[in-house]
Structure 1
Amino acid sequence: MNKQENERNYYLPRWYQELLLEAENRTSHFIILSYNVYDYVFPEVEEGGTPAEFTSLKEFLQRDMMDYDSFNGILFFSETSGFSVIDDRSFEIFSAIIGKDRLAKRGVISLKECQDRQKRHETRESLDLINRLLNQREQRIAIVLEFLENLAPSGTKEHMHEEKMVNVEILRRIAMDENIEKTKNIVIGITDNIGGVDVELRRESRCKVIEISLPSKEERLRYLKYLASLKDNERRVLPPISGSLGTKQTEKLENFAEHTHGFNFRALDEFVRKENLNRHIAEKILGKSYDGVTLQKIQERRRSIIQSESKELLIEIPPRGGFNSVGNLAHIKDYLKQIIKNIKLKKTASTPKGILLAGPPGTGKTIIAEALAQEAEINIVQMGDIKSKWVGESEKNLEKVFRLLKDMAPVIVFVDEIDQAIGGRVTEPGAGGGERVSAAMFAKILKEMGSNENRGEILWICATNRPEVLDAAMLRRFDRIFPVLLPYSNESRIEIFKAMENGIVDNFKYDGTVDFNSLAERTKGYSGSEIEQILRDAVYLQECRNDARYDDNRNIVLTQEAIEKAIENFKTNRDDAIYLYQTLLALKFCRSVEDLPREEDVPDDLKEVIRYTRENRSNNFINKKLEELKRDLASRKAMGL
């Protein structure tokens, strides 16, 4: 006999409340649970109730639906493993219909045996059997379809195997079947990537997609407190937390929870188990002290999780420094400082959705994004090239990537060379329907970048030296387009030299006698990245000297002589004409004359361009210069230069 609902000693997760509501009201009988479906379920305990152990999603569904919600049996099915049940009652109900030889249950028939037997049956036959089970009224049942993206994959008919097309059609019929609705039986599909599930199935009126989110900071903190309360289970009890996360235990737990954004309960549990193992090895085997859970360990694990969950489309970037590590570009830093205030004050209306940094390579576009993240104390991830050879997979994974970004918010998404990484509305004509797939991905990215719901939560900072190839719709997603140019003035280069000491180039300090004016004069026309390389070369030269000096922190003391020798040895490999062309493009696509560089900060051949553009609010002069450069570059190419 089922327990009554009021006997539960825990609150139901929000997604499960929504599932029960859909089932009881009969508004949907085909329910898809998506996203964080392979995590532990850790119900919130009512005050004074017995702590609820976390469990898998399958075990939670079986226990709660049968103990409290009048379901007589829960049947699980996957394409490779076939049918399985967890409890005795379900085994009795379904074995009579399916046959005991096809129904896996721990201690009765192994999953391996059922996998072998499933190979002898077509998936179509199994789905037809599921359809008949759902239409019976003797027992109220729920059928859980695992790995739904394999049973009903997304894609077009011309690119889908015939068997898969049949499976999708059967599942659509199940979703549309009004008779199933009358039985109070339900289907629950499980997928961690909703983008991989057939679109038409998701759109059926009696199909409901319910998302299971990653745990919030409050939920992660509750879980950590639960682990801290355990005493007996050595593998799972919370290990000591390092002083890098605070002084008092409450502060440490708060910071632990804060820095584990992107973790689900399972990832947290695995992290804790691994740290307990490391502690055991250190203390019991090696006889050393254990350094505890540190911020660095959490960050390393988080980077790994984000990269894995996004299928390597997102990579977390550890910022190399704040605004003091950015030389030059004062007007951009001033704008970003105001953005930080808006983010912290939740002034979403005045927070940009996107910023485009345009200009030649090596001018500091990446470090600007990193500095903003560090100053604002928010996450920054880099989006990789989505136009890989696995285009179809990338398209499916985009759904998961954007959901992951929302869980990480507030977050900066940095896209370097956006013209290459994302591309335009379509790719070049080619085999395999590449244009259609690219257009679908591009439209999805535009939608997310342009969403006002993401303003103040997801900030896109993109870099390019080819703004003219970007789609007009893409350009409209950027609230501000900044030209990021070469440091033409001595003052700019002096700022860059000084900023390099603040984390960009590691483990060095300037000697007190270094003449920055002289160094700036000798590096006229060099980019920030070229100055960085010169300093790295100088560090190497200094380390090779027998009389190399180090400060108390083991930073090498860099002398004027070593830097000048590195400058003397350095040879730039760039084409000045190409750099000028990219500079003019950056100026052309800038929307505000306030963002143009000062005339005194640019060389003579650009002063007139800046003056005319600022006074006339027109790109005519820039366009004229670009046409002249185009002809020059074309003639050089024709001559093979």
Structure 2
Amino acid sequence: MDNISYNFFLQTGRVLNSLESSTILMTGNVHDYFYALKLKKYVPIIEFLKSSMSLNTNIIVTYKITGGIQFQNKNDAKLFSNAWEYWRYGKENAEEFQGLCRTAAGNITYSLELLKQMCICSMAVDENNNPILEKKLLIIIEGAESIIPATPVNQISDSDRVRLQICLDWFKDPDFVESKDAVILIAESKGLISPVISRLPHLGEIPIPAPNEEQRKHFIDWYNENQVKSYKVKLRGKKNELAQLTAGLSILALRRLLKNASHSRGELKSEDVMSEVKSFIERELGDIVEFKIPSHNLSDVIGCTKIKEYVKKKVVPRFKSIGKDSLPGAAICGPIGSGKTFFWEAVAAESGMIVLVLGKLRDKWFGESDVRLERLKRILYAFVNVLIFIDEADAQFSSLSAGEQHATEKRLQAGILSMMSDTKLRGKVKWLLLTARIDRLSHDMLRPGRPGSLVIPMFDPEENDRNEFLRWAIEPVLEKKLDQATINKISKLTEGYFAAMFSELRSELLAESKGKKLRQEEIETVIKDIVQPAVSRTRKYQTLCAKIYCNRRSLLPKDEKKEDWEAELLKLS
């Protein structure tokens, strides 16, 4: 089996070999499996690092709370033990150091201090000024978030305070910083470890991304090579199709999918793949993300003739594109009840993209905001073409300068804004913001290069579109054919109706009919009984905002001027 390269490992090698940093923090996809060429199998991150960094010039030491301090092999353990005894007593005797390691088991504070002293020992010289240890000491600490957690300094316990100070003294020690030795900390997120450590200027952070298409394909090939014939996964379509469909999955999640297919000894279907991707993303990001598969398309949309034509010609092709002509996003505005959500879910279905709906950002991201933001970013990097759908965007985001914003919320919004303009995500991720109050969105979000690249207004139906809504609402229950005279009469009764009102009318009529047809007089009675909601002033304000913020002339009324809209808006303010 051919080897697969990992950029994060190559970057780690460059940092260590150049002595750029003696302390490295690995974050991101740290709980996944990676292919170790020497072992010819997929293993956890710590085993991958041990195998890949195993050189004659290195002594690799690992530490985790449940496993204590461990050397990669007995020879290295004996070599270091002798160096320790020589450093302490001027003679070689491995027994004392081994006793210290046994004492450290289960004691985090003791273990950290011992690891720190091991680095001091590694840097020591004999009476002839020669190093007592020729090899480089590499210490890998797994689960750093449990050892030096991101608890505010004024709230940490005494034991955590001691551990934090040990690490701070260790990583800031000038001799250690200039030495050939190194410490690799492993944590899912930088935000999970103490900021006292994570903000050290010489700390090198190396993110581990979700597996890309090439890496997923490698695992699929490796998996099938290691199965007996009857358990090999039968792949439908092209050989690379499964690797493409599983974008966003970790290797462990992909393994679960393949294991399930092997167990059933059947063909792996695209529906099974999408179900696993959906499940994985929702597990990773919690209930702030919904993996949506729209059940309707533009042919199901009533009215909206002008906007449908524009979207089919100008928007859908640019959503589908992953090249330089792709659209970074769009902001959809218009009054409440104008059908924004239904229409743009149909557009998402028309484009054939994966749709992730972001919601509950304010409620759910406090406390875990940094971690979930990093998870979201990591997953998005793995996708080829995905649409981020944010409904009620004005409720999710506000101006970054807003005084009432919590610091965590500001950091969250700044992170989202950064992703919106990230050149690595350009063409791969499209952002779709829906709002009735576009004036409440941050101007940073509405600039070109972000969703502000295209601001599309959604207005109430007029003329033929309005007649289409009337037909849609009335024809299913009307006992006779709907003629123009009837349309004209009912049109007057429904003056001021908008998309949501027509939907409500259709529902009322279906409930009234109870499966039977209604006379025109009965329909008129139902219409007269409905009192329109007292939102006309609010909707007028929102319509004016949509007109003012729209940045495509072809989508605006031809005989109206922006100055008039602004003047009218001031009167309503």
TM tier relative to shorter chain: 0.7 to 0.9
CA distance in 1, matches of 2:209, 2:52: 20
Aligned to 1:583: 543
Aligned to 1:109: none
Q: Deviations over 1:561-582 (max 9, x none)?
A: 89x9799489576323233333
Q: Deviations over 1:355-398 (max 9, x none)?
A: 21112233232234333333333222111222126512124422
Q: What's the C-alpha RMSD, in Å, of the aligned pairs?
A: 4.0
How much has 1:407 moved relative to structure 2? Answer: 2.1
Q: Deviations over 1:409-454 (max 9, x none)?
A: 432211111121233426765xxxx632222223222333344554
Give the aligned residue type for 2:240.
E
How much has 1:162 moved relative to structure 2? Answer: 5.8
Aligned to 2:556: 596
Give the aligned residue type for 2:415.
K
Which one of 140, 145, 150 corresponds to residue 141 of structure 2? 145
CA distance in 1, matches of 2:268, 2:58: 44
How much has 1:99 moved relative to structure 2? Answer: 4.6
**Contact 2:247 2:384 (8 Å CA) reproduced:** no
Which one of 209, 220, 223 corresponds to residue 224 of structure 1? 220
Which one of 609, 620, 626 corresponds to residue 572 of structure 2? 626
**Contact 1:339 1:351 (8 Å CA) reproduced:** no
Which one of 73, 77, 83 corresponds to residue 60 of structure 2? 73
Aligned to 1:63: 51
**Contact 1:193 1:397 (8 Å CA) reproduced:** no
Give the aligned residue type for 2:547.
L
Structure 2 vs 1, CA of residues 613 and 256 (structure 1 numbering), >3 Å: closer, same or farther? same
Structure 2 vs 1, CA of residues 493 and 455 (structure 1 numbering), >3 Å: closer, same or farther? farther
CA distance in 1, matches of 2:524, 2:274: 35
1:167-566 pair list within 5 angstroms: 167-181=163-177, 183-199=179-195, 201-232=197-228, 237-241=231-235, 245-246=236-237, 251=238, 253-277=239-263, 279=264, 292-333=267-308, 334-335=310-311, 337-342=313-318, 346-348=322-324, 350-388=325-363, 391-425=366-400, 435-476=406-447, 477=450, 478-492=452-466, 494=468, 515=482, 521=491, 525-532=496-503, 545=515
How much has 1:153 moved relative to structure 2? Answer: 3.9
How much has 1:613 moved relative to structure 2? Answer: 2.2
CA distance in 2, matches of 1:586, 1:355: 13
**Contact 1:467 1:589 (8 Å CA) reproduced:** yes
**Contact 2:143 2:187 (8 Å CA) reproduced:** yes
**Contact 2:109 2:162 (8 Å CA) reproduced:** yes
1:34-53 pair list within 5 angstroms: 34-42=27-35, 52-53=40-41
- Structure 2 SS opposite 1:619: helix
CA distance in 1, matches of 2:262, 2:504: 42
Structure 2 vs 1, CA of residues 73 and 359 (structure 1 numbering), >3 Å: closer, same or farther? same
Moved more, 157-166 or 419-428: 157-166
Give the aligned residue type for 1:486.
D
CA distance in 2, matches of 1:413, 1:342: 15
CA distance in 1, matches of 2:252, 2:4: 20
How much has 1:343 moved relative to structure 2? Answer: 5.2
**Contact 1:29 1:185 (8 Å CA) reproduced:** yes
**Contact 1:146 1:190 (8 Å CA) reproduced:** yes
Moved more, 212-221 or 565-574: 565-574
CA distance in 1, matches of 2:165, 2:524: 68
CA distance in 2, matches of 1:197, 1:27: 22
Structure 2 vs 1, CA of residues 232 and 40 (structure 1 numbering), >3 Å: closer, same or farther? same
Give the aligned residue type for 2:439.
E
**Contact 1:388 1:394 (8 Å CA) reproduced:** no
Q: Deviations over 1:53-104 (max 9, x none)?
A: 21221222222322x35323322224x6644566545665579566568659
Structure 2 vs 1, CA of residues 221 and 565 (structure 1 numbering), >3 Å: closer, same or farther? farther
How much has 1:205 moved relative to structure 2? Answer: 4.6
Aligned to 1:633: none
**Contact 2:354 2:386 (8 Å CA) reproduced:** yes
Structure 2 vs 1, CA of residues 591 and 164 (structure 1 numbering), >3 Å: closer, same or farther? farther
CA distance in 1, matches of 2:47, 2:39: 17
Structure 2 vs 1, CA of residues 129 and 462 (structure 1 numbering), >3 Å: closer, same or farther? same
TM-score (norm 2): 0.79
Structure 2 vs 1, CA of residues 594 and 458 (structure 1 numbering), >3 Å: closer, same or farther? same
CA distance in 2, matches of 1:40, 1:28: 26
Structure 2 vs 1, CA of residues 11 and 399 (structure 1 numbering), >3 Å: closer, same or farther? closer
CA distance in 1, matches of 2:58, 2:269: 46
- Structure 2 SS opposite 1:328: coil
CA distance in 2, matches of 1:463, 1:60: 44
How much has 1:315 moved relative to structure 2? Answer: 2.0
CA distance in 1, matches of 2:246, 2:300: 27
Structure 2 vs 1, CA of residues 98 and 376 (structure 1 numbering), >3 Å: closer, same or farther? farther
CA distance in 2, matches of 1:460, 1:594: 22
Give the aligned residue type for 2:456.
F
Q: Deviations over 1:272-293 (max 9, x none)?
A: 223334x27xxxxxxxxx6x42
Moved more, 413-422 or 197-206: 197-206
Structure 2 vs 1, CA of residues 61 and 337 (structure 1 numbering), >3 Å: closer, same or farther? same
Give the aligned residue type for 2:304.
L
**Contact 1:424 1:470 (8 Å CA) reproduced:** yes
Structure 2 vs 1, CA of residues 341 and 512 (structure 1 numbering), >3 Å: closer, same or farther? farther
CA distance in 2, matches of 1:595, 1:423: 26
Q: Deviations over 1:123-169 (max 9, x none)?
A: 44332222111222225332222222333444654565565455444
CA distance in 2, matches of 1:192, 1:582: 43
How much has 1:510 moved relative to structure 2? Answer: 11
Q: Greater relative contact order: 1 or 2 (C-alpha under 8 angstroms, separation 6 or more)?
A: 2
How much has 1:401 moved relative to structure 2? Answer: 1.7
Q: Deviations over 1:182-240 (max 9, x none)?
A: 54322111122233344563454542222222222222223223333333397xx4434
Aligned to 1:110: none
Q: Gaps spanning 5+ residues in structure 1: where? A: 1-7, 105-113, 281-289, 501-508, 548-558, 599-610, 628-641
Give the aligned residue type for 2:561.
T
